[in-house]
Structure 1
Amino acid sequence: MNYNPVTNEVIQALEQIVGARNVKTAPEVLEAYQSDESLTPDLWHLPEVVVSPGSTEEVAAIMKVANQYKVPVTPRSAGTSVSAGAVPVYGGIVLLMERMNRILEINTEGMYLVAEAGARTADIQAAAKEKGLMYAGDPCSADSCLIGGNLATNAGGNKAVRYGTTRHQVYAIEAVLPNGKIAHLGAPLKKCSTGYCLDQLIIGSEGTLGIITQATLKLVPLAPYKLDVLAVFTDLKKATALVPQLIKAGLNPTSVEFMDNNFVRSASDYSELRLPHYEDGIYDIVSIETFSEHELDEKMEKLAEVCEACGATDVVEADDRVWKVRRNCLESTRVFSRVATSEDLVVPVTKIAECIQTLVEESKKYDFLIFCLAHAGDGNLHFQIMKRDMPDDEWERQLAQFRAFAYPYVYQLGGRLSGEHGIGYKRLSYMEQYTDPVELELMKTIKKAMDPNGILNPDKIIHVE
């Protein structure tokens, strides 16, 4: 694509909108925004200017300037993406949402919360909890990620098996479209059949169709009874076979998290904790929530029976130490390699056991280091693949070879490339390769119609000439 550079004239126009102190061009600042949490330096690109708006109107004005001068804009939340979704591929403007961080309203009768896009997810969860309610969106990076990024990527997380992903937690959004117009989409209604569902079109579009600036989020009653169980296995097949049995038993768990022994050991070491069966344990962490103590007791008894029937070596209560280890999984792998990539495959829940077993076996053919964890209850599995002592070209060759097996296999099972991390820039070519041509063309048609200048987060999800 052909874009114009950010000139002094553009910078002056941006300063008039947000103030000079909110427009940054210093090299050290630009370098900080060349990447997200993806550990693949060849995906990184420097922006030309970093801008921090303080209101929806300022975001709209920035987009109008960008269209006028044909300068690309890359919206950025907290930068916790691992798919290069916030990387400015063509330079231009990085638009930070961090100043727009207010929680504007908590309506306990209507059971919704209104927040700006820069509000921290953990702060939203805490604000809801203070009112005896729960915001069910719960990505593993909740302590640092922002709600706008969750919405843009349709983030998943630990509670998705019961409550759904981020898009299921939203009544309405306010968004700035690529042309600078402000759209108010959706409403706090239980049902609506009035025209196209445009709020859901913007949610999950990874900032390519609009910049979400505000959201009305659904809240649910906070279940008073909860118990987390750690089921420890020493056999991979038995550990992965647990999920279908939980579903058949009608337990309706809030979350089911899987960790292979590589992650158990690395995350335990990183957390400075030693959990049961550190040396050989494979973990399934199961959460149950209920509104009566009697129901909790019944479900826990049934859960223990299912775990034991599947061959669990140990079934114990999972305390905060277990969840700390789970949260530190990805961070813990950085001691092994600073060059790594995270796969985010998703398959039907009934295929999760088969998929993990097959891909773990396939990975033994390669020289890289590979760890596996999964949001097993919703079929979403992550492989953290780390470069070891090998030349760059050999790393790229082996990685491509593994993907050439894994991706067609996942699609054969009825799965897709990404369950929650998104396509971003990282999986752009694979999206073109594996997506149905009619579906892909429809996406490109929508993008061209909404963003004719192609300036909003270009080369994310799809490439449009």
Structure 2
Amino acid sequence: MKQYNPVTAEVVKALQDVVGEKYVKTAPDVLDVYKSDESLAPSYWRTPEVVVLPANTEEVAEIVKIANKYNVPVTPRSAGTSVSCGAVPVYHGIVLLMERMNRILEVNEEGMYMVVEAGVRTIDIQNLAKSKGLLYAGDPCSSDSCLIGGNLATNAGGNKAVRYGTTRHQVYAIEVVLPNGKIANLGAPLKKCSTGFCLDQLVIGSEGTLGIITKATLKLVPLCPYRLDVLAVFTDLGKATALVPNLIKAGLNPTSVEFMDNNFVRSASDYSDLRLPHYEDGYYDIISIETFNEDELDDKMEKLAAICEACGATDVVEADDRVWTVRRNCLESTRVFSKVATSEDLVVPVTKIADCIQSLVEESKKYDFRVFCLAHAGDGNLHFQILKCDMSDEEWEKQLEEFRDVAYKYVYGLGGRLSGEHGIGFKRLDYMEKYTDPVELELMKSIKRAIDPNWILNPGKVISAD
């Protein structure tokens, strides 16, 4: 196990010399704020020894150099919206906040790109692009609060990933502080490039273990002028989940296909104080279609309605803002039932999503906890929100482990993986070791050792610090 030194007064003074005394926090009540992320699992909480807020890339680089000099770990943190404990300082040390680096540096309408610092809110990027008649297609469900740096670090997914891909597909280039404190500019605003290794894509999605992203050049695309959202309501789980492969085969190219089971339909409707069709027994598929031509939109909507009806939909109606309000409030709504919960982030081939949801929902009935199912069904990514009910902590952990053992083996048997968009973080570290091919795992560890020999950046995440 990797050993680190404590943060001493000498380390604090060195950090203050870089960013100023105002931006180095050591008060216990401040440190306590950064012991967790949105996962809310006390067993994963770790309190940092100091919190630092740099103003620019050069200050980030100096902080990393100090960390190497004194053998102190650094945990980069964006808005803390992770649910995989990715921002939890496992080995305490320094938490490095990116929120001061919040400038949008350039919007190039002709070249269709935007240059931003890592601390910019995702929704601000989306809104600015929209005001120019363009689209930033990265769209995690927490876009109103998350920061772009965290999106890049975890390769965040979201509602538009079916059509546009995940965050890594929205990036031309990044500026990154490496584990040795050097600053690298990786990638370029090019449509194609076969010049050396694709290092920008290696860093994106590495969860802050291979570098701290400080700046990004983001791709923008033309904003489709025509859009319609449809709510397809089913009263049978099998029929609701079987819709997805039929949509993909039909060539409709939807922007998003979201699935909600009836547990989520009822809890999120209650939380939002709204009532939608078949509140008592409905399973929801929300499908978004975008086009550049009104006639094309009409044609696709006719096909979509026909497919939904052929698959057994009870109702097919336009999805207004109420539907999306219910969808956005899904996870928050479950906290009414239990403060102790865990979110699974499984991903399988799109053709297997129906089988996977049905099989694991059936498996979950064997346990005493309560399971809610949500899915970015169009890209094979499903979320099980598992709530602790009337059971002891020991029984909760035991049953959760038993369910995960069955679920993870099943998902890997389908060709799936542990995480589709949330990342491995601290929460899934042991499972990453257990289920990843040993050759693949050793390759990742070799890269980490080569780039970060002191294991300074975000240790305890993705791969173990051994």
Q: Deviations over 1:224-283 (max 9, x none)?
A: 000000000000000000000001111000000000000011111111111111111100
Looking at structure 1, the residues matched to 121 and 135 of structure 2 have their Cα atoms a distance apart, in angstroms, of: 15
Equivalence map 1:155-194=2 (5 Å): 155-194=156-195
User: Which residue type is aligned with residue 27 of structure 1?
Assistant: P
CA RMSD, 1 decimal = 0.5
**Structure 2 residues not aligned, in runs of 5+:** none
What SS class does the counterpart of residue 266 from structure 1 fall into?
helix
What SS class does the counterpart of residue 88 from structure 1 fall into?
coil
What SS class does the counterpart of residue 88 from structure 2 fall into?
coil
**Which position in structure 1 is the counterpart of 2:320?**
319
Q: Deviations over 1:15-70 (max 9, x none)?
A: 01111110101111111000000021101100000000000000000000000000
User: Which residue type is aligned with residue 44 of structure 2?
Assistant: L
**Which position in structure 2 is the counterpart of 1:384?**
385
Instruction: Check conservation: 1:346, 1:416, Cα contact below 8 A.
Output: yes
Number of residue pairs aligned between Structure 1 and Structure 2 = 465
**Which position in structure 1 is the counterpart of 2:243?**
242
> Shift in Å at residue 396 of structure 1?
0.3
What SS class does the counterpart of residue 251 from structure 1 fall into?
coil
**Which position in structure 1 is the counterpart of 2:223?**
222
**Which position in structure 2 is the counterpart of 1:109?**
110
What SS class does the counterpart of residue 98 from structure 1 fall into?
coil
Q: Deviations over 1:64-122 (max 9, x none)?
A: 00000000000000000000000000100000000001111000010000000000000
Instruction: Check conservation: 1:4, 1:71, Cα contact below 8 A.
Output: yes
What SS class does the counterpart of residue 425 from structure 2 fall into?
coil
What SS class does the counterpart of residue 241 from structure 1 fall into?
helix
**Which position in structure 2 is the counterpart of 1:119?**
120
Runs of 4+ in structure 1 over 4 Å off: none
User: Which residue type is aligned with residue 394 of structure 1?
Assistant: E
Looking at structure 2, the residues matched to 463 and 272 of structure 1 have their Cα atoms a distance apart, in angstroms, of: 44
Instruction: Check conservation: 1:448, 1:464, Cα contact below 8 A.
Output: no
1:293 aligns with 2:289: no
What SS class does the counterpart of residue 399 from structure 2 fall into?
helix
**Which position in structure 2 is the counterpart of 1:347?**
348
Looking at structure 1, the residues matched to 260 and 105 of structure 2 have their Cα atoms a distance apart, in angstroms, of: 38
**Which position in structure 2 is the counterpart of 1:335?**
336
Looking at structure 1, the residues matched to 390 and 103 of structure 2 have their Cα atoms a distance apart, in angstroms, of: 46
- Structure 1 length as normaliser, TM-score? 1.00
Q: Deviations over 1:124-174 (max 9, x none)?
A: 000000100000000000000000000000000000000000000000000
Looking at structure 1, the residues matched to 320 and 106 of structure 2 have their Cα atoms a distance apart, in angstroms, of: 33
**Which position in structure 1 is the counterpart of 2:413?**
412
What SS class does the counterpart of residue 286 from structure 1 fall into?
strand
> Shift in Å at residue 464 of structure 1?
2.8
Q: Deviations over 1:302-354 (max 9, x none)?
A: 00000000000000000111111111111111111111100000000000000
Identity of aligned residues (%): 81
- Structure 2 length as normaliser, TM-score? 0.99
Looking at structure 2, the residues matched to 198 and 360 of structure 1 have their Cα atoms a distance apart, in angstroms, of: 39
User: Which residue type is aligned with residue 385 of structure 1?
Assistant: I
What SS class does the counterpart of residue 153 from structure 2 fall into?
helix
**Which position in structure 2 is the counterpart of 1:432?**
433
**Which position in structure 2 is the counterpart of 1:402?**
403
**Structure 1 residues not aligned, in runs of 5+:** none
**Which position in structure 2 is the counterpart of 1:152?**
153
Looking at structure 2, the residues matched to 464 and 98 of structure 1 have their Cα atoms a distance apart, in angstroms, of: 27
Looking at structure 2, the residues matched to 39 and 19 of structure 1 have their Cα atoms a distance apart, in angstroms, of: 32
